[in-house]
Amino acid sequence: MKTAGWRSALIYGCVFALCQPLAACGSAEAPPASTNDGKAAKAVPAIPADAPLVIAFGDSLYAGYQLGPKEGLAPQLQAALAADGVVARVQNAGVSGDTSAAGRQRLTYVLDNAKVKPTLIVLGLGGNDMLRGIGPDQTRANLDAMLAELQRRDIPVLLTGMMAAPNLGSDYADKFNAIFPDLAAKYDVSFYPFILDNVVTNKALMLGDNLHPNAKGVKVVADALAPLVEQALPDAE
């Protein structure tokens, strides 16, 4: 990760430490109303039925926590791809409050019920595990199982990483932070080290809870992920 990325991760970790009394990152009980603090992504042209399917599978950072229907990661990533002239359908499979265990439980259902085989899964879980103090070994095992299942199905993956809050101690942080690069290397998948890099350090890109990006922040994330997604799509160079 670049130095700027580590700085973003440290600041995000400090915010996590202050906000850890919250039940979870994007608890399922939280209201889903739009914040109206940023304009929605531009309208995207109609996507052909046979367009490649990308599934964004994660927690509240994927689900569009407190954002409008066009402001979350899936619609903004689809728009970012379209802006580059890349036609793909991006499906939102984010669930606010999901731990890695919950994601592991529902992964097969999402894959089995997809209308077509996904061209790519963008996978991002673990933040809620960290907030709840779940052992890194459990998080690693759950993500490992998901990546193994996706490998078995021959579905490429873009893994997005998370960083531990410093108040959990260096031992926990060392074990947790190593999960994502280790698994990306083990399964030889595309890897984006910190999902909120270049976002969390800018209050103008974050919601009032200082944990989740607003619509403008999500656009930064989507624009950063788009080139990695494009590399996995058919006819990519």
Q: Residue 67: give its domain's CATH number.
A: 3.40.50.1110
Residue 93 clears pLDDT 70, i.e. is over it: yes
Q: What per-residue confidence (pLDDT) applies to 118? A: 97
Q: Give pairs for 151-156: CB < 8 Å, separation 24+.
A: 151/187, 153/111, 153/117, 155/111, 155/117, 155/118, 155/119, 155/120, 155/121, 156/119, 156/120, 156/121, 156/189, 156/190, 156/232
Residue 189 clears pLDDT 80, i.e. is over it: yes
Active site residue 60: yes
Q: Exactly one of 34, 144, 190, 209 is catalytic; which is it?
A: 209
Is 156 inside a domain boundary? yes
Is 75 inside a domain boundary? yes
Query: What mean pLDDT is reported for the chain?
Result: 86
Separation of alpha carbons 86 and 214, rounded Å? 25
Closest by CA to 148, choosing from 103, 186, 203, is 186
What is the arithmetic mean of pLDDT over 92-100? Answer: 98
Is 183 inside a domain boundary? yes
What is the arithmetic mean of pLDDT over 162-185? Answer: 95
Is 85 inside a domain boundary? yes
Q: What's the number of domains the chain is made of?
A: 1
What is the CB neighbour count within 10 angstroms for residue 141? 15
Is 58 inside a domain boundary? yes
Q: In this predicted model, what pLDDT tens digit does every residue of 65-88 receive, in sequence order?
A: 999 999 999 999 999 999 999 999
Active site residue 212: yes
Is 63 inside a domain boundary? yes
Separation of alpha carbons 115 and 53, rounded Å? 9
Is 16 inside a domain boundary? yes
Residue 181 clears pLDDT 60, i.e. is over it: yes
Is 155 inside a domain boundary? yes
Report which of residues 142 and 38 the model is more confident about. Answer: 142
Per-residue pLDDT band for 37 (boundaries 50, 70, 90) equals very low
Q: Exactly one of 60, 96, 100, 129 is catalytic; which is it?
A: 60
Range of the domain at 170: 3-21+49-122+139-232
Residue 11 clears pLDDT 60, i.e. is over it: no
Per-residue pLDDT band for 13 (boundaries 50, 70, 90) equals low
